[in-house]
Amino acid sequence: MKVIGFCPHHKEWLPVEVEVSFIPGLPQIHLIGQADRNLKESLIKIKSILRSLEVDVPKSKQLVVNLRGGDFRKKSLGLELPIVLAILVALKTINLDGVVRAEGAVRTVGTDGLVSTGASDIVYAHGELSLEGQIHSSDLFLLKSIVSDKVTITGLCKDGILNEKHVQFQHIKDLISCYLDISDVVSDVKDRPIRFTGKSAEPSLIRPLLAFDPLVGRTLRPEFEKDPEHVFFTQGERDLLLLVSLGRHSLLLMGPRGLGKSTLAESLNYLAEPPDEETFLHQSKYFYVEEGAYWRPFVRPHHSISHLALVGGGPQCQPGEITRAHGGILLLDEFLEFDPKCQEALREPMQNKTIHLARGQRYQKYDCDFHFIATTNLCSCGQWLPGKAVDCAYSYARCRKYRDKLSGPVIDRFHILSFLRPRKKIEQCWTLASVYQEVERHRVNFKQRRERVVFKKDLLSLGLRQRLDHELNSLRRLNASIEVAKTLCTIKNQTQVTDEIMIEALAYTWQPFLDLME
């Protein structure tokens, strides 16, 4: 029987096999395998637990515990439970063949009415122990993908069970009583957990344990300081919000100062899809997640940030802000004020949704599938717009130099470019709350409906085909136009890209690009 624990290494949880051997000598426990100082101090705690359990330890033998699992320092206190389990198995105090059932153990009952035993020659375990032998397991959600459907022993967890072979104990004494025969479990109990209260006691039903959900007990709401009923948009801005939010298209929003570019960009966080388990696990794996309210990450770094802090790096290849924004929104407000190195460093992550870091002898790959939003003025005076005469306090050369900060390859990676122009208050007839209701209505089966949208260039008119073939000077512009057109088709409940929709898509992806290049 192999007992496997887990230890963090470079933000990853790696399996560590716990081996126990007896050699002649004075009775003591030796911990080898590159255990750190804190884990070695746990031996005193383990000795205290073994004494309280009245476990019969050989008087003329030394216990050698080896942590086998790679050339790195083992420093997780969650290895305490696997170590005790391995010692108890070696002493033949417990038998983990066919996995444990015990007083206080939470088990699931299969559809056939029998308790799953989860027979295996490998048992995974994770938990920190108290001096009295209580088992405390945290960060179990980080192990979910590793344990898969394997037999797993941990402490009690309020978030649920990792799989049908996940056994939870409150105390190490509950684990010792694993010799109970559970073949007489009532067969009419199906798909519900059982708590065993003793050898002679009948199993009593407890509250149903649901599938593991780390979002249980958290309030899912975005951080938005303004009242959605008092944030107003025009019809064009409402259409832009629908398009960008539902299609998760990258957006470069440009225009004069004071028109609400930042407010519109922040509203996309309010309209974002509720977070899923994958996003939460990614955040918890690399960054600290506060208790209480939770939402998809909304990362808004200051323009003074360095390119290394943005994409990640350093001697330890630490993740950067783009990794923090994975599954959420990355907002770069005042985009042209960022260092040109920051702009250029985003080219590959925007395209590949991953970042590969190599520093010295270290190499790390991080996911960074973020929804990229950028806002900026196009002149130092903050008033310039294409096709509009503006009295500028600066020279034309200075204004042109400011716009030259925009990198052509970076702009080409934005799906949508939009100019925010001055508008009258009477035109602002849509509140953010009403836009949210529209987004929620369209979001039902949106991804499935979008996948069924068909784009065939042969079905477009001859003039539009020639425009796509000859006018669009970038394959990325063409791909962005097609993706935006598919999103527009889904919003309009159509299944095929027509001339009308393609022309509307080009108004978002190509025409602003031409205006900006003038």
Within a domain: residue 267?
Answer: yes
Q: Examine the pLDDT at 14 and tell me if it is beyond 70.
A: yes
Q: What is the pLDDT of residue 378?
A: 86
Within a domain: residue 213?
Answer: no
432-461 mean pLDDT: 93
Do 129 and 275 belong to one domain? no
Do 334 and 364 belong to one domain? yes
- 53-95 confidence digits (pLDDT tens): 888 788 888 999 999 988 888 888 889 999 999 998 888 888 7
Do 18 and 76 belong to one domain? yes
The most confident of the ranges 166-170, 211-215, 229-233 is 229-233
Alpha helix ranges (H) inside 61-217: 80-90, 144-147, 172-176
446 CB-side CA count, 13 A = 20
Q: How far is the C-alpha of 368 from the C-alpha of 511, rounded, in Å?
A: 29
Q: Examine the pLDDT at 467 and tell me if it is beyond 70.
A: yes
Q: Examine the pLDDT at 143 and tell me if it is beyond 70.
A: yes
Do 52 and 27 belong to one domain? yes
Do 286 and 409 belong to one domain? yes
Q: What is the pLDDT of residue 428?
A: 86
Within a domain: residue 325?
Answer: yes
Do 416 and 464 belong to one domain? no
What percent of the chain has a predicted confidence (pLDDT) above 90?
Answer: 43
Q: What is the pLDDT of residue 112?
A: 38
What's the domain range around 471? 445-518
**Residue 496 pLDDT level (bands cut at 50, 70, 90):** very high
How many other CB atoms sit within 10 Å of the CB of residue 409? 12
What percent of the chain has a predicted confidence (pLDDT) above 70?
Answer: 87
Do 200 and 223 belong to one domain? no
Q: Examine the pLDDT at 186 and tell me if it is beyond 90.
A: no
**Residue 118 pLDDT level (bands cut at 50, 70, 90):** very low
Within a domain: residue 428?
Answer: no
Number of domains making up the chain: 3
Question: ∠ at Cα 262 (261, 268), nearest 5°?
Answer: 100
Residue 366 and residue 312 in contact, taking contact as beta carbons nearer than 8 Å: yes
Choosing from 372, 390, 422, the residue where a domain stops is 422
317-341 mean pLDDT: 94
Q: Examine the pLDDT at 188 and tell me if it is beyond 50.
A: no
Q: Examine the pLDDT at 190 and tell me if it is beyond 50.
A: no
**Residue 375 pLDDT level (bands cut at 50, 70, 90):** very high
Q: What is the pLDDT of residue 389?
A: 65
Question: ∠ at Cα 107 (106, 112), nearest 5°?
Answer: 155
Residue 489 and residue 496 in contact, taking contact as beta carbons nearer than 8 Å: yes
Do 351 and 473 belong to one domain? no
The amino acid that residue 470 corresponds to is H
Within a domain: residue 350?
Answer: yes
Q: What is the pLDDT of residue 500?
A: 95
- 384-426 confidence digits (pLDDT tens): 777 776 667 777 778 778 888 888 889 999 999 999 988 888 8
Return the SS3 of 432. helix
Q: What is the pLDDT of residue 139?
A: 76
**Residue 270 pLDDT level (bands cut at 50, 70, 90):** very high
**Residue 184 pLDDT level (bands cut at 50, 70, 90):** very low
Do 273 and 146 belong to one domain? no
Distances (CA, A) of 118 to 110, 151, 166, 227: 11, 6, 9, 52
Do 257 and 286 belong to one domain? yes
Within a domain: residue 436?
Answer: no
Q: What is the pLDDT of residue 247?
A: 95
Do 184 and 276 belong to one domain? no
Q: Examine the pLDDT at 115 and tell me if it is beyond 80.
A: no
How many other CB atoms sit within 10 Å of the CB of residue 183? 8
Query: What does residue 6 show for φ and ψ, rounded to 5 degrees?
Result: -135, 145
Q: How far is the C-alpha of 114 from the C-alpha of 108, rounded, in Å?
A: 9
Is pLDDT larger for residue 144 or for residue 343? 343
Q: What is the pLDDT of residue 268?
A: 95
Predicted structure pTM score: 0.77
Q: What is the pLDDT of residue 97?
A: 67
Within a domain: residue 429?
Answer: no
Return the SS3 of 422. coil
Within a domain: residue 9?
Answer: yes
Do 337 and 244 belong to one domain? yes
Q: Examine the pLDDT at 455 and tell me if it is beyond 60.
A: yes
Residue-averaged pLDDT of the chain: 83
Q: What is the pLDDT of residue 101?
A: 41
Query: What does residue 115 show for φ and ψ, rounded to 5 degrees?
Result: -75, 130
Nearest Cα to 173, choosing from 135, 125, 200?
Answer: 135
Q: What is the CATH number of the domain that holds 29?
A: 3.30.230.10
Is pLDDT larger for residue 218 or for residue 197? 218
175-200 mean pLDDT: 40
- 194-210 confidence digits (pLDDT tens): 333 333 333 333 333 45
The amino acid that residue 432 corresponds to is L
> Across the chain, which distance is largest between two alpha carbons, in Å?
94
Residue 411 and residue 513 in contact, taking contact as beta carbons nearer than 8 Å: yes
Integer-rounded Cα Rg, in Å, for the chain is: 30
